[in-house]
Amino acid sequence: MVQEKGATLEEILATFSSHVSKNYPSPEEFQERLRLLLDNKRAGKEGGAYAQSLETNVVFLHDLVTEGRVLLDLLLRPDKAPKKNLEAIIEEMEGKVRAQTKKRHAAVFDRGEDEEFRELAEMRRGKAADYIERLEFNYLYLMTLRMLLFEFMSVLQSIKAEYRLADMKPGVAKEATDSLALTAHFYLGNVKVAEELGGGSDEEPGAPGSSNGGHNA
């Protein structure tokens, strides 16, 4: 039964933070698991094949997170409710993004048509080791953000089953995803990046090719 109290974004974020603290490994263990993931992904691949695999995954995850932000904006509106359950929506969204990934990869990395990926695409022509390092960073960041974003939506839906949402100010979805970006950087060990993002930058956190999306940010 939905109660009268309206859940604010601050309360939702606090609930999610508690959920993550109880259910996620320590940042050190999380990073070790990611290192093993990269080792397995790299195994048996030549440099070019490994880079292309990372590029494809970065494009897929970036576009999936972009679609996820749109969905989150809908879920945070007190007067809006999706017609399908969350799992079905996410599955459909993943299928839609995956179907476009090959075409998007060519547009981004072969033709340089996406400004957001411009710096990353330019690095492709530079030193291979630096390019791989940047690709790995973006891959791990976007994968972590995707995981947190979808889990946040699940927690949000559980809260909405018991409480109505308070009226949200404009830009609340960006505020929520910025908070999730900080959490992603925390688990990835990017303390400096997290501190910079906490200063209120208007840049998309960790966007591919941006200073916040690179290993040296």
Residue 6 pLDDT? 84
Phi then psi for residue 177, to 5 deg, are -70, -30
Within 8 A by CB and 6+ apart from 79, the residues are none
Domain residues for 205? Answer: 3-213
SS3 of the chain: helix, strand, coil, percent, to 5? 70, 5, 25
Within 8 A by CB and 6+ apart from 128, the residues are 47, 51
Q: Do 40 and 190 meet the contact criterion of CB atoms below 8 Å apart?
A: no
Residue-wise pLDDT tens digits, 47-85: 689 999 999 999 999 999 999 999 999 999 877 777 789
Q: What's the domain count of the chain? A: 1
User: 42, exposed or middle or buried, with CB in 10 Å at 0-12, 13-18, 19+?
Assistant: middle
Average pLDDT over residues 132-144: 95
Residues 148, 106: Cα–Cα separation, whole Å: 28
Q: Do 190 and 217 meet the contact criterion of CB atoms below 8 Å apart?
A: yes
Residue 12 pLDDT? 95
Residue 83 pLDDT? 75
Residues 209, 66: Cα–Cα separation, whole Å: 15
pTM of the model: 0.85
Residue 198 pLDDT? 54
